[in-house]
């Protein structure tokens, strides 16, 4: 039997969560032994995972910077995770103190954490909702209070869609969100792939199977399809380090070893 | 930050290279929210601080401690960040100072780093704990709120809610549930919902309940009867949902019941009302039609289907005069009588219109259909006692009987209704089989009706006189006026071809008064010629004429104009006109007899039994030609026809009315009729309708067989 709608989601810290694992790989301490235990197992078979996450996080930072440079001053960050170094509101509000941010995650501790951090910040909120329920996010009162859907919005769904299995229709969801954005808006996405680092990712997927967030890797084409109808910002779909690098050394000789595709698209 | 920078350069050569390498070494170790350039600026500052303290006279380890702390502040907190820093520092600072100092310096950097990192980690873990508390708190608040909501719903709901254990026993119930079932909370405990159901349902529900627990159903919903503590049954909507625990195992069932007894009653009554005619309790037209459709659909290729449409004769007349209750009583009685004849096996009944009933028979035969219809007609025709008076209401029936294959239910009813119209038009109190080609006959009728007025003006009508004889000895007893139409295209048309048209189209009055004038003129002429030997001349008055308010004025005027006397004429009226709407003797009879006319009831058939004729100012009854025709044309006796005629004759005799018969075309008819007690007859056996000069010898001879 499904949990009735009105029953709150359990706060489960007995099981590893994607949010805390991600924090662990980033070198954070917002995690529990269950998370670290799984994290160490993952690192043993997929040692690249520290780079995958760090480079992904760096892409997020550069993407937000890029969007603020394009004049975007409102952000919807779905699957925002645990606040950590280089949070979206910090980057955006550093460039534009009036920038507004809505953080969304379905992990209650991550949301509570964001809440704590955002106390006293009138221009940012965190809400607990699920990517798979667009109405609960797009129609949420707090989203509507914070964001003006008649002006361009930066929608960030970074390193999240690989937690959405095919059965939940990720393409359909992406389309829903794209449709909700006004013209001039941007969509920033990143996604785990097996096109490179196949063996490590396969092992990682195996281990994540028992976490709260099983992982589905996708191909370049599947990833590109999530931007349908949007104009991809140069250089298009690339591995994370290749997207608007800040210095040539950052790209390195093997950007594909980041195992994560990244791209930013603009709604015409 | 560096203080001693000189336009991008430094007092220490190689410092920039040192910072660049340091940046490159630590950047991949941690999630630093900075670009390489930004981190490089910070690390250049740190490098300069370290250089300065290496080169100082007196070693002070605090700048190095600060650098260690600063690294943590810059988010260089990855597991390999310190390691990478120490390697870079020892390699590049080895040449700048002696080993002791270098070891002191590196120790201070590491000390500051570890110190700050410990704080950093503690702080993060502290924050994480806070976040967890906060999340739990929020979750608990939400839970409490939802529990509160649930409790409110539970206690306040008008829906009966009970929480059970895994065996299905009720553990907790709300007030609504207790009130609905008439048990207290304690009494409900340890009972299962199916304990409170009639035995036959209980088994089924408990089976379904088992399936629910086994996970074969996720929820159970149905409409059920339950028994209250006082054993009174109530109807409920019942929904049982199984709540599972976190592991997906059955935890407890929630039972919800809603009392729909009223709704049920209402629905029952409503659907019955919608489908049934409240007066007669027969299916209404819509339901009847849907049943016909179903029946047609269920029949095989060889099967036949029959539909009869009964119309009560003259009901509107009765309704117009008597109270509604009389009409209702008659309808109800007719419906009951139909039901008595038609049981569920033989047919399906419906009230398809105000005074119309329909009977559907499946796997029928034409003869079977006719048999049922005739039985029903006879039953319906029996007198009905209403408001203290007896009414005789006959019915006319249209019958369709055909192969079921391809039959359209609506066509069936429409054709039966058309046949009913024919039956009514052809004299009522009879049935008519629908004939496909009669449609074209009907068209011809309409044409004739349209030509009637012009024909009357153009003198296309003629009268003839049919002799009426004593059946016993063929003595002349009178003449009957017969009108015929010499139609320019269709030739000679007899009264039965056009009189009904005249009656229906409103041309009866002119045609009828014309005929009356002809009769009076002839009567006077004969009387002038033959005096008292002249037998009476009878003229049929149509219903419309009888019902006309100006009838007596018309008669007086015609008598006056012709010089004939009333007693020389016999007026024939139809049985329908004998009584008024209240069932009283029609006033017109008295008016006619007061004027001196003799009144004869014509067109008698089996269905218009002259039971109630006693006491009416009548001079006799005349059997309709078609009634007489039932005696058959060959020499075979028709016992049933003889019995029917005999019944009418004896009833008339009881009322002391002599019986005439029309349409006596065969000797055998005459013999049979005489034996049955019929006194007078007319028809081919006694002589065809003829012109005045042809029948004059009969008057002279006093017999229909004059010797020339
Ligand atoms: C790998 S982290 C990414 C965090 C951040 N977007 C970044 O790229 O640095 C993925 C986050 O998505 C969240 N997440 C996973 N499935 C989600 C869903 N269906 N709805 C909302 N958030 C989800 C997880 O809780 C986790 O915090």
Question: For ligand 1, is residue A157 a contact (CB within 6 Å)?
Answer: no
Ligand 1 centroid vs B694 CA: distance in angstroms? Answer: 120
Ligand 1 centroid vs B432 CA: distance in angstroms? Answer: 85
| Burial class of residue B96, CB neighbours in 10 A (0-12, 13-18, 19+) | middle
Atom of ligand 1 nearest to the CA of A164: 19
- CATH superfamily, region B157-265: PAS domain (3.30.450.20)
Statement: residue A6 has pLDDT above 50: no
By C-alpha distance, which of A105, A108, A165, A109 is closest to B130?
A109
The secondary element (H helix, E strand) that includes residue A33 is helix A33-45
CA distance A19 to chain B (A): 12
| Burial class of residue A184, CB neighbours in 10 A (0-12, 13-18, 19+) | middle
Percentage of the residues of chain A whose pLDDT score is greater than 90: 77
More confident residue, A171 or B446: A171
> Does A61 sit within 8 Å of B33, measured CB to CB?
yes
Residue B270's alpha-carbon distances to A204, B233, B348, B354, in angstroms, are 66, 20, 21, 21
Q: Give the confidence band of B317 by pLDDT, cuts at 50, 70, 90.
A: confident
Statement: residue B447 has pLDDT above 80: no
Kindly provide the ipTM of the predicted complex, given to two decimals: 0.87
Lowest mean per-residue pLDDT among A5-19, A245-259, B397-411: A5-19
B291-325: burial string, b at 16+ Cβ within 10 Å, e else: bbeebbeebeeebbbbbbbbbbbbbebbbeebeee
For residues A175-186, average pLDDT: 95
What pLDDT score was predicted for residue B2? 42
Residue with CA at minimum distance from ligand 1 atom 16? A163
Contact B480, B682 (CB under 8 A): yes
d(CA B39, CA B195): 77
Statement: residue B6 has pLDDT above 50: no
d(CA A15, CA A86): 26
Q: Give the confidence band of A8 by pLDDT, cuts at 50, 70, 90.
A: very low
- Give the SS3 label for residue B7: coil
By C-alpha distance, which of A106, A156, A150, A149 is closest to A127?
A106
The secondary element (H helix, E strand) that includes residue B496 is helix B495-505
**pTM exceeding 0.80:** no
d(CA B52, CA B43): 14
Statement: residue A5 has pLDDT above 70: no
Lowest mean per-residue pLDDT among B314-328, B344-358, B618-632: B314-328
Statement: residue B8 has pLDDT above 70: no
Q: pLDDT tens, B11-20?
A: 778 888 999 9
Nearest to B218 among A1, A84, A85 (CB): A1
d(CA A16, CA A12): 9
Q: What's the token pair of residue B574?
A: 């139809």
| Burial class of residue A145, CB neighbours in 10 A (0-12, 13-18, 19+) | exposed
> Does B132 sit within 8 Å of A27, measured CB to CB?
no
CATH 1.10.490 region(s) of chain B?
3-122
Ligand 1 centroid vs A134 CA: distance in angstroms? Answer: 15
What pLDDT score was predicted for residue A92? 95
d(CA B620, CA B175): 81
What pLDDT score was predicted for residue B577? 82
Query: What's the longest Cα–Cα distance across chain A?
Result: 54
Question: For ligand 1, is residue A132 a contact (CB within 6 Å)?
Answer: yes
Q: Does any CB of chain A come closer than 8 Å to the CB of residue B450?
A: no
CA distance B180 to chain A (A): 26
What pLDDT score was predicted for residue B448? 78
Average pLDDT, chain A: 91
d(CA A130, CA A128): 7
Q: Which chain A residues have a beta carbon less than 8 Å from that of B134? A: 112-113, 115-116
Angle at B324 between CA B318 and CA B327, to 5 degrees: 45
Q: Which chain B residues have a beta carbon less than 8 Å from that of A50? A: 78
Tokens 């002038």 — which residue?
Answer: B528
For chains A and B, count residue pairs whose Cβ atoms are closer than 8 Å. 104
Contact A218, A260 (CB under 8 A): no
CA distance A108 to chain B (A): 6
DSSP line for B606-660: TTS-GGGGTTSS--EEEE-HHHHHTT-SSSS--HHHHHHHHHHHHHHHHTT--EE
| Omega cis (within 30) before A31 | no
Q: Does any CB of chain B come closer than 8 Å to the CB of residue A11?
A: yes
> Does B78 sit within 8 Å of A85, measured CB to CB?
no
Q: Which CATH architecture has domain B510-693?
A: Alpha-Beta Barrel (3.20)
CATH 3.30.70.270 region(s) of chain B?
283-434
For residues A167-190, average pLDDT: 95
> Does A112 sit within 8 Å of B132, measured CB to CB?
yes
Q: Which chain B residues have a beta carbon less than 8 Å from that of A28? A: 31, 77, 124
By C-alpha distance, which of A22, A29, A99 is closest to A57?
A22
Residue with CA at minimum distance from ligand 1 atom 11? A79
d(CA B544, CA B394): 19
> Does B135 sit within 8 Å of A109, measured CB to CB?
yes
For residues B319-344, average pLDDT: 82
What pLDDT score was predicted for residue B3? 41
Which span out of A64-78, B107-121, B122-136, B278-292 was modeled with the highest average pLDDT?
A: A64-78
CATH 3.30.450.20 region(s) of chain B?
157-265
d(CA B429, CA B496): 17
Domain B283-434, CATH number (from 3.40.50.720, 3.40.50.1000, 3.90.1150.10, 3.30.70.270): 3.30.70.270
- Give the SS3 label for residue B267: helix
By C-alpha distance, which of A60, A162, A52, A65 is closest to A103?
A60
Domains in chain A: how many in total? 1
Contact A219, A191 (CB under 8 A): no
Residue among A88, A105, A136 whose CB has most ligand 1 atoms within 8 A, to mutate: A105
CA distance B32 to chain A (A): 7
A204 is in which domain, residue-wise?
A: 18-266
More confident residue, B553 or A104: A104
Statement: residue A143 has pLDDT above 80: yes
Tokens 């009315």 — which residue?
Answer: B657
Is A245 within the bounds of a domain?
Answer: yes
Atom of ligand 1 nearest to the CA of A156: 6
Angle at B386 between CA B381 and CA B387, to 5 degrees: 160
By C-alpha distance, which of B152, B149, B206, B148 is closest to B174?
B152
Question: For ligand 1, is residue A54 a contact (CB within 6 Å)?
Answer: no
Residue with CA at minimum distance from ligand 1 atom 8? A158
Residue A155: which CATH number?
3.40.50.150
Question: For ligand 1, is residue A216 a contact (CB within 6 Å)?
Answer: no
Percentage of the residues of chain B whose pLDDT score is greater than 70: 93
For residues B74-99, average pLDDT: 89
What pLDDT score was predicted for residue A28? 87
More confident residue, A206 or B6: A206
Statement: residue B708 has pLDDT above 70: no
What pLDDT score was predicted for residue B441? 65
What pLDDT score was predicted for residue B609? 63
What pLDDT score was predicted for residue B222? 77
- Scanning every residue of chain A, which has its alpha carbon at the shortest distance from the alpha carbon of B215? A1
The CA-based dihedral angle spanning residues B597, B602, B606, B610, taken in that order and rounded to the nearest 10 degrees: -10
CATH 3.20.20.450 region(s) of chain B?
510-693
Residue among A163, A187, A214 whose CB has most ligand 1 atoms within 8 A, to mutate: A163
d(CA A94, CA A121): 13
Helix axes A18-25, A49-69, angle to 10 degrees: 100
Statement: residue A1 has pLDDT above 50: no
Atom of ligand 1 nearest to the CA of A157: 6
Q: Give the confidence band of B446 by pLDDT, cuts at 50, 70, 90.
A: low
Q: Does any CB of chain A come closer than 8 Å to the CB of residue B24?
A: yes
Q: Give the confidence band of B7 by pLDDT, cuts at 50, 70, 90.
A: very low
What pLDDT score was predicted for residue A26? 92
Is A10 within the bounds of a domain?
Answer: no
Residues contacting residue B176 through CB under 8 Å, at least 6 positions apart: B157, B158, B159, B160, B161
Report A:49-68 residues touching B (Cβ under 8 A): 50-51, 53-54, 57-58, 61
d(CA B338, CA A156): 80
Tokens 């507004």 — which residue?
Answer: A100
> Does A249 sit within 8 Å of B31, measured CB to CB?
no
What pLDDT score was predicted for residue B326? 84
If one counts every other C-beta atom within 10 angstroms of the C-beta of residue B623, the result is 29
Q: What's the token pair of residue A67?
A: 């969007």
Question: For ligand 1, is residue A163 a contact (CB within 6 Å)?
Answer: yes
Query: What's the longest Cα–Cα distance across chain B?
Result: 182
Residue among A79, A213, A243 whose CB has most ligand 1 atoms within 8 A, to mutate: A79
The CA-based dihedral angle spanning residues B416, B496, B546, B644, taken in that order and rounded to the nearest 10 degrees: -70
> Does B146 sit within 8 Å of A29, measured CB to CB?
no
Ligand 1 centroid vs B431 CA: distance in angstroms? Answer: 85
Is A30 within the bounds of a domain?
Answer: yes
Q: Does any CB of chain B come closer than 8 Å to the CB of residue A26?
A: yes
What pLDDT score was predicted for residue B344? 60
Ligand 1 centroid vs A25 CA: distance in angstroms? Answer: 14
Contact B259, B234 (CB under 8 A): yes
For residues B166-179, average pLDDT: 86
d(CA B416, CA B427): 17
Is A11 within the bounds of a domain?
Answer: no
Q: Is the domain defined by B3-122 classed in CATH 1.10.10? A: no
- Give the SS3 label for residue B166: coil
For residues A141-149, average pLDDT: 94
Report A:102-131 residues touching B (Cβ under 8 A): 108-113, 115-116
- Give the SS3 label for residue B51: helix
Nearest to B77 among A27, A61, A249 (CB): A27
What pLDDT score was predicted for residue B493? 83
What pLDDT score was predicted for residue B4? 42
d(CA B312, CA B381): 9
Contact B414, B400 (CB under 8 A): no
d(CA B575, CA B577): 5
């Amino acid at each position: 039997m499904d949990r009735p709608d009105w029953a709150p989601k359990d706060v489960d810290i007995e099981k590893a969560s994607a949010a805390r694992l991600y924090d662990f790989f980033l070198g954070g301490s917002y995690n529990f032994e269950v998370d670290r235990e799984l994290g160490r197992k993952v690192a043993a078979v997929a040692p690249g995972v520290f780079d995958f996450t760090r480079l992904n996080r760096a892409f997020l930072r550069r993407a937000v910077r890029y969007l603020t440079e394009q004049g975007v001053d409102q952000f919807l960050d779905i699957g925002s995770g645990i606040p950590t170094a280089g949070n979206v509101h910090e980057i955006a509000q550093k460039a534009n103190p009036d920038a507004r941010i809505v953080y969304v995650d379905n992990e209650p501790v991550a949301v509570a954490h964001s809440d704590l951090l955002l106390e006293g910040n009138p221009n940012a909120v965190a809400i607990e909702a699920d990517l798979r329920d667009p109405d609960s996010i797009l129609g949420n009162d707090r989203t509507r209070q914070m964001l003006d859907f008649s002006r361009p919005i930066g929608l960030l769904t970074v390193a999240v869609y690989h937690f959405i299995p095919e059965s939940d229709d990720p393409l359909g969801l992406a389309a829903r969100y794209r449709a909700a954005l006004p013209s001039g808006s941007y969509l920033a996405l990143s996604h785990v792939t097996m096109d490179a680092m196949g063996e490590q990712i396969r092992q990682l997927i195996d281990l994540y199977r028992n976490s709260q967030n099983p992982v589905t890797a996708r191909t370049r084409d599947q990833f590109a399809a999530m931007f349908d109808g949007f104009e991809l910002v140069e250089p298009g779909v690339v591995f994370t380090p290749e997207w608007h690098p800040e210095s040539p050394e950052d790209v390195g000789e093997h950007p594909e070893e980041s195992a994560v595709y990244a791209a930013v698209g603009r709604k015409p | 930050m560096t203080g001693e920078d000189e336009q991008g350069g430094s007092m220490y050569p190689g410092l920039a290279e040192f910072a660049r390498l340091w940046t490159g070494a630590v950047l991949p170790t941690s999630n630093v929210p900075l670009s390489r350039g930004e981190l490089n600026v910070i690390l250049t500052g740190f490098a300069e601080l370290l250089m300065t303290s290496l080169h100082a006279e007196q070693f002070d380890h605090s700048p190095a401690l600060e650098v260690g702390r600063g690294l943590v502040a810059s988010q260089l907190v990855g597991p390999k960040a310190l390691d990478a820093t120490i390697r870079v520092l020892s390699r590049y600072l080895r040449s700048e100072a002696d080993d002791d100092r270098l070891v002191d310096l590196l120790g201070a950097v590491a000390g500051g780093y570890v110190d700050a990192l410990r704080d950093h980690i503690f702080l993060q873990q502290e924050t994480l704990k806070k976040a967890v508390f906060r999340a739990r708190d929020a979750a608990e608040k939400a839970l409490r709120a939802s529990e509160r909501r649930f409790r409110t719903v539970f206690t306040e709901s008008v829906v009966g809610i009970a929480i059970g254990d895994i065996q299905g026993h009720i553990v907790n119930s709300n007030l609504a549930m207790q009130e609905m079932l008439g048990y207290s909370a304690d009494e409900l405990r340890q009972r299962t919902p199916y304990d409170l159901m009639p035995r036959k349902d209980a088994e089924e529900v408990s089976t379904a309940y088992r399936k629910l627990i086994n996970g074969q159903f996720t929820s159970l919903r149905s409409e059920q009867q339950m028994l209250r503590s006082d054993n009174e049954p109530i109807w409920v909507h019942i929904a049982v949902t199984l709540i599972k625990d976190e592991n997906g195992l059955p935890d407890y069932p929630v039972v919800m019941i809603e009392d729909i007894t009223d709704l049920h009653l209402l629905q029952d009554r409503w659907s019955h009302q919608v489908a049934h005619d409240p007066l007669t309790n027969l299916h209404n037209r819509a339901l009847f039609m849907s049943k016909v459709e179903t029946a047609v659909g269920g029949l095989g290729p060889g099967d036949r289907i029959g539909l009869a449409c009964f119309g009560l004769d003259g009901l509107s007349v009765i309704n117009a005069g008597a109270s509604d209750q009389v009409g209702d009583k008659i309808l109800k009685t007719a419906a009951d009588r139909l039901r008595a004849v038609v049981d569920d096996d033989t047919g399906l009944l419906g009230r398809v219109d105000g005074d119309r009933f329909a009977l559907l028979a499946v796997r029928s035969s034409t003869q079977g259909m006719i048999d049922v219809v005739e039985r029903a007609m006879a039953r319906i025709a029996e007198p009905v006692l209403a408001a203290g008076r007896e009414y005789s209401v006959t019915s006319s029936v249209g019958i369709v009987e055909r192969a079921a294959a391809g039959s359209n239910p609506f066509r069936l009813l429409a054709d039966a209704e058309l046949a009913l119209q024919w039956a009514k038009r052809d004299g009522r109190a009879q049935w008519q089989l629908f004939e496909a080609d009669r449609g074209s006959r009907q068209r011809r009728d309409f044409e004739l009706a349209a030509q009637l007025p012009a024909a009357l003006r153009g003198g296309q009508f003629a009268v003839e006189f049919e002799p009426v004889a004593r059946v016993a000895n063929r003595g002349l007893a009178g003449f009957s006026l017969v009108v015929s139409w010499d139609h320019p295209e269709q030739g000679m048309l007899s009264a039965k071809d056009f009189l009904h048209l005249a009656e229906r189209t409103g041309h009866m009055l002119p045609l009828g008064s014309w005929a009356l004038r002809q009769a009076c003129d002839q009567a006077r002429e004969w009387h002038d010629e033959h005096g008292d030997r002249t037998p009476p001349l009878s003229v049929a008055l149509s219903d419309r004429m009888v019902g006309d308010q100006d009838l007596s004025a018309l008669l007086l005027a015609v008598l006056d104009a012709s010089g004939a006397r009333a007693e020389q004429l016999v007026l024939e009226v139809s049985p329908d006109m004998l009584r008024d709407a209240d069932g009283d003797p029609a006033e017109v009879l008295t008016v006619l007899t007061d004027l001196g006319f003799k009144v004869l009831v014509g067109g008698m058939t089996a269905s218009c039994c002259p039971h109630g004729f006693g006491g009416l100012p009548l001079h006799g009854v005349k059997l309709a030609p078609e009634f007489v025709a039932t005696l058959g044309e060959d020499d075979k006796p028709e016992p049933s026809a003889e019995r029917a005629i005999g019944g009418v004759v004896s009833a008339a005799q009881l009322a002391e009315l002599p019986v005439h018969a029309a349409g006596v075309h065969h000797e055998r008819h005459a013999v049979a009729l005489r034996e049955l007690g019929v006194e007078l007859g007319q028809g081919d056996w006694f002589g065809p309708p003829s012109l005045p000069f042809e029948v004059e010898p009969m008057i002279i001879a006093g017999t229909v067989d004059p010797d020339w």
